[in-house]
Amino acid sequence: MPRTRHFRDLIVWQKAMELARQVYLRTEEFPQAETFGLRMQMRRSAVAVASHIAEGHGKLTDAELRKSLGLARGSLYEFETQNELACGLGFIDQDSSRQLLELATETAKLINGLLAKLESQ
Homologous superfamily of 7-119 in CATH?
23S rRNA-intervening sequence (1.20.1440.60)
Q: Where are the domains of the chain?
A: 7-119
109/102 Cα distance (integer angstroms): 11
CA distance 14 to 7: 9
Q: Give the rounded distance of the alpha carbon of 75 from its chain centre.
A: 6
Q: What is the pLDDT of residue 4?
A: 64
pLDDT at 111 (0 to 100): 97
Per-block mean pLDDT, blocks of 10 residues, the chain (121 long): 75 97 96 92 98 93 93 98 97 97 98 92 80
User: Quick one: pLDDT at residue 1?
Assistant: 45
Q: Which of 98, 16, 93, 18 lies closest to 51, judged by CA?
A: 16
Q: Cα–Cα distance between 110 and 15 in angstroms, integer?
A: 9
Tell me the pTM: 0.92
